[in-house]
Structure 1
Amino acid sequence: MFSKFKEIIRGINAINTTPFTENKEIDWELLGQNIDYLLTNGIKAIYPCGNTGEFYSLTIEEAKEVTRFVVERNKGRAKVIAGIGYDYKTASHLAKYYEDIGADGIMIHQPINPFMQENGLIEYYNSIATSTHLPILLYVRQQNITINVLRQVAQLPNVVGIKYAVNDLISFAKTVQEVNEDVVWVCGSAEMWTPFFFIAGAEGFTSGLVNVDTKRSFQLLDALKDKRFTEAMQIWNEIRPFEELRERYMNGNNVSVVKEAMNQLGLSNGVVRAPLSRLSTEEVNELKVTLKDWGILTELTK
C-alpha cells in the first residue's frame, strides 16, 4: 500500500519556508516563488507547514491557507505532505481539511504537550490516523516517543514513514531494528546528519537547504544511494558550515539561516516571526562566505 508514495519519500523531503512581509503577514508572491524554485529544481516531495515553514508561528487558518496555496501552485507535480499538530481534534480537523483540498499526505508534528505517556501517545496517533485516508509520516523529536509507541503506531495501515530527528544514532539504529514494520525511515535532522542516519537505516532525508541550493542535496543523496561514502562525506563537508550555523542556539538559527541565505540570493526577504529573529551582522557575513565558497553568491546576487 502507498508504494509510489513511499518511493518518493525515500529521497529528498523538502520543507519549504513560509515567507512574510515586513509587517509579518504571509507573502504569497514569495511563497509561490519558493514552491516554483523547488519544483523547477526537481523536488518531488514538498512539506508546507513544517518547522522550516514556521508551523507553530502560524494560526490554524493560516496553516490551511498556506497548504491550499501550495497544493494549487504544485498542480500535481510533486507530493504535497502537509504538517499538522496541536491537540488531536485540531490535528484531525487539519488532516480532513488537507485531504479535502487535494494534499497527498500529512506529517504529524511532535506533540507539544509537556506530559506524555505511551498509551496516550498511541491514542493520539490512532485518533488522527483514523480521521483520514491520506498516508502519514510521524515526526519524532524526543525519545519519549518510545520504540513501543512507534512499533504499535507503525501498524496503522496509513502510517508509511517516520521522520526521526533525535540525533542519537545508537537509539535510532535500535529503533529501526525493533520497529519491524514496512515504514520508510527519514532522517529528520537534514544533511548534517544524513550520512550517519543512512548507515543506521534511513532511506530519505528532510532538507531546508534545498530552498537555497538543491544541487548539493541531490549530490549527497545520489552518493549515499550508490554507497559512494567517500564522495558523500566530501559533499557533507561542503554543506557542514551552513548546517552548523543553523544548529546554533539549540537549533534556534534553523529557519533564520535558510531565510537569510534566500535573501542574499534574491529568493526571499529573510523575514521571520517571533519567537525567531534575524541573524546578527556577524552571522550574515559568515553565511555570505559559505555561499560564495559554494559559487552561488556573486556580485550580481548581493
Structure 2
Amino acid sequence: MTINDSASRLAGRLDGLLFFPVTAFGPDGGVDLDAYRRHLASRLSARDDALGAVFACCGTGEFFSLGVEEYAECVRVAVEEAAGRVPVVAGVGYGAALATQFVRAAVAAGADGLLVMPPYLVEGGQAGLREHYRRLADASELDMIIYQRDNAVFTPDTVADLAAHSRIVGFKDGRGDLDLMRRIVGAVRQRHGEDALLYFNGMPTAEMTSQAYRAVGVPAYSSAVYCFAPDLAMAYYRAYRGGDEATVNRLLDGFWRPYVQLRQAGQGYAVSLVKAGVRLEGVDVGPVRPPLSEPEPEHVSRLAELIAAGRELI
C-alpha cells in the first residue's frame, strides 16, 4: 500500500472543520452516555458539508480520565451518532502496552481512525518516538494521526521517517512552533511528495492561529468552540476558507480574542470552560473530572456574554 492509498481512506475524508466533543459525566461521576449522545446529536444535526470529522475521547473529551471500558462505550456511541456521515477518529495514548488496549477498543467500537497523543510522562529521544508510533501503527488497520504536544516533540527527519508508514496519514501540532512546523512540512514533502501527510493546527483555540498556520502549509484545524457555539465556529470557518478577511478579523477581535483571554484566567479552562459552554447551550454534560476543576461562576457568566456578543457579529 502506498502512502497516498492509505491517506485516501481517512485523510481524504477530513476536509472540513474538526469537532472534538466533550465527554459527559453524571452526578455519580460515571460516564453519562445519554447526555453524551445528546451532545453529539445536537452538533451533528448542526453540521453541513463543512464539518469534517468527530474526534472522540481526545483532549477536550478528557481521555486521560477514562478507563478502557468507558472509552470503548463513548467511541461506540460516537460511531452510532455519526452514522457514516463523517468519520470518527478516536484518541489513544500512554505507553505502547496500554495504548494498544485503547487501539483495540477503538477498532472494536467501529472507529475510522486514531489520534495518537503523547506517551505518558517520559521524554524519549527521536529513535524511541519513531519506534513507539510505528508500533502503534502496526497494532491495527486503522489510519492514524500523530499529535505533537507536551513531551512529544519531533524533528523534521523523524516525521519524514514516520510518514513512510502506510497507516500514518496525519500530523497534528499543539506546540505552536511555526518554524519547526514549516520545516516538518518541507521535510515530508521533499521525501514523500506534496500529499504524504495531512496537517492539523491543534492549538487550544486554533482559530487565533489559523492564518499563521495556513501560511506554513497547515490549513486544517480543530475547533473547541464548535462544542458550544457551532454557528460561531462555522461562520469563522467559512470566512477563513473563503478569504473573507474582514469577517475573520471582526470575529477574531470581537469574540475569539476575549475568549482566549477568558480561557487563560484559570488552569484547565481549555477543557472546563468548553464544558461549561456546552451546559450553557442546554445540554447537561456534567462537570469535569479531577484533576481538572470547574470554572469560577463569574467566568461562566462572562462566557455567556461573549457568546451573545459573538452572535451579534454574525
Fold in common (TM above 0.5): yes
Q: Which residue of 2 aligns with 1:14?
A: 19
1:112 Cα offset (Å): 2.1
Q: Is the 8 A contact 2:23 2:285 kept in 1?
A: no
Tell me the alpha carbon deviations over residues 124-180 of structure 1, each in whole angstroms, 9 at most, x when there is no partner: 000010111111111111463222221111111111111111112222222222222
Unaligned runs of at least 5 residues, structure 2: none
Q: Which residue of 2 aligns with 1:167?
A: 176
1:101 Cα offset (Å): 2.9
Q: Is the 8 A contact 1:85 1:91 kept in 2?
A: yes
Q: Is the 8 A contact 1:212 1:262 kept in 2?
A: yes
Q: Which amino acid aligns with 1:259?
A: K
SS of the aligned residue for 1:205 comes to strand
The structure 1 residue matched to 2:144, chosen from 125, 136, 139, is 136
Q: Is the 8 A contact 1:270 1:278 kept in 2?
A: no
Whole-Å Cα distance in 2 between the matches of residues 275 and 267 of structure 1? 23
Q: Is the 8 A contact 2:68 2:101 kept in 1?
A: no
Whole-Å Cα distance in 1 between the matches of residues 97 and 146 of structure 2? 17
Q: Which amino acid aligns with 1:9?
A: L
Q: Which residue of 2 aligns with 1:246?
A: 263
Q: Is the 8 A contact 1:198 1:224 kept in 2?
A: no
Whole-Å Cα distance in 2 between the matches of residues 227 and 290 of structure 1? 24
Q: Is the 8 A contact 2:210 2:219 kept in 1?
A: no
Which moved further from structure 2: 151-160 or 121-130? 151-160
Whole-Å Cα distance in 1 between the matches of residues 199 and 177 of structure 2? 14
Q: Which residue of 2 aligns with 1:89?
A: 97
SS of the aligned residue for 1:26 comes to coil
Q: Is the 8 A contact 1:44 1:77 kept in 2?
A: no
Percent of aligned positions that are identical: 26
- What does 1:94-113 correspond to in 2, within 5 Å? 94-113=102-121
Whole-Å Cα distance in 1 between the matches of residues 262 and 243 of structure 2? 27
Q: Which residue of 2 aligns with 1:264?
A: 280
TM-score by length of 2: 0.87
Whole-Å Cα distance in 2 between the matches of residues 6 and 29 of structure 1? 30
Q: Which amino acid aligns with 1:70?
A: A
Q: Is the 8 A contact 1:82 1:106 kept in 2?
A: yes
Q: Which residue of 1 aligns with 2:220?
A: 204
The structure 1 residue matched to 2:87, chosen from 63, 79, 84, is 79
Q: Is the 8 A contact 1:68 1:101 kept in 2?
A: yes
Q: Which residue of 2 aligns with 1:300?
A: none
SS of the aligned residue for 1:132 comes to coil
1:13 Cα offset (Å): 1.3
Residue 49 (structure 1) aligned with residue 51 (structure 2): no
Whole-Å Cα distance in 1 between the matches of residues 111 and 129 of structure 2? 25
Which moved further from structure 2: 76-85 or 186-195? 186-195
Q: Is the 8 A contact 2:185 2:217 kept in 1?
A: yes
Whole-Å Cα distance in 1 between the matches of residues 12 and 230 of structure 2? 19
SS of the aligned residue for 2:290 comes to coil
